[in-house]
Amino acid sequence: MFLVFEDRPSDSPFIERVWRCHSERAGLFHSIASPHWEMAVTRHRGRTYLTIRGPETKATMADCPADGEWLGIRFKLGTFMPKLPVSRLIDRQDVDLPSLSDHSFWFEGDVWEYPSFENAESFVARLVKNGFVTRDGAVQAALAGDHDALSLRSIQRHFRMATGMTQATYRQIERARHATQLLRRGVSILDTVHEAGFFDQSHLARSIKRLIGQTPADVMSQEEQLSFLYKTASHS
């Protein structure tokens, strides 16, 4: 594996995960499907810039340069930027913000310092304070199974607006990610079918190939590089 990842949880109600990684050599990797959007800082060959990345609804192949460093702030489902809808970012419609130096960039008429692995919460708190990032409580209520406050149609509309995808797509992605974690831990394909809630082996194989980019056997071998993957719960 040529990408070395480190990540941590966050106590921020807006942040899903903070991660960083570096590349030990150049290579191709599988960029797996993810329901979350994020802000990522790239440092490579003397250049530093911040990219706003959208969710990915399918796996793709990506090219990674050697000697690169990346920092990512992955946002919780339901968190969004009012001026930049998630639907405009989905499936690699990334937005790079203007860089001013190795330490700062230009955003919404002001100079911002690049966030670090340690101060991601303070950076996001400033975004929230200025109204650039907010969250839709209906999305978290929907994930928790609380459908009392809104009609099903309203929940679906809120979910799609805040995440750029349907709840069904979200559940499919999370189930495939959960299955991938099981396979990487050495759980058999048959047991993974049962534990992750697939109909049969064919259903598992199609989902893993489309959303992770590999066959179940390839996932188990762990010979090919995947993008950032952390432990997640099962979603049927």
Q: What average pLDDT does the segment 66-84 reach?
A: 95
Q: What average pLDDT does the segment 36-47 reach?
A: 95
pLDDT digits (tens, 9 = 90+) for 142-162: 777 665 656 677 778 888 888
Confidence of residue 235 (pLDDT cuts 50, 70, 90): very low
The pLDDT value recorded for residue 149 is 57
For residue 233, pLDDT over 70 is answered with no
pTM of the model: 0.89
Tokens representing 9? 């949880």
* DSSP label at residue 178: H
For residue 75, pLDDT over 60 is answered with yes
Looking at every residue in the chain, the average pLDDT score rounds to 91
Strand (E) positions, the chain? 3-8, 15-23, 27-31, 38-44, 47-53, 60-64, 69-75, 79-80, 95-96, 104-107, 110-113, 134-135
pLDDT digits (tens, 9 = 90+) for 179-195: 999 999 999 999 999 99
CATH numbers and ranges of domains, the chain: 3-134 (no CATH), 167-221 (1.10.10.60)
The pLDDT value recorded for residue 158 is 81
Tokens representing 207? 């989902």
The pLDDT value recorded for residue 148 is 62
Q: What average pLDDT does the segment 39-47 reach?
A: 95
Give the whole-angstrom CA distance, residue 93 versus residue 27. 22
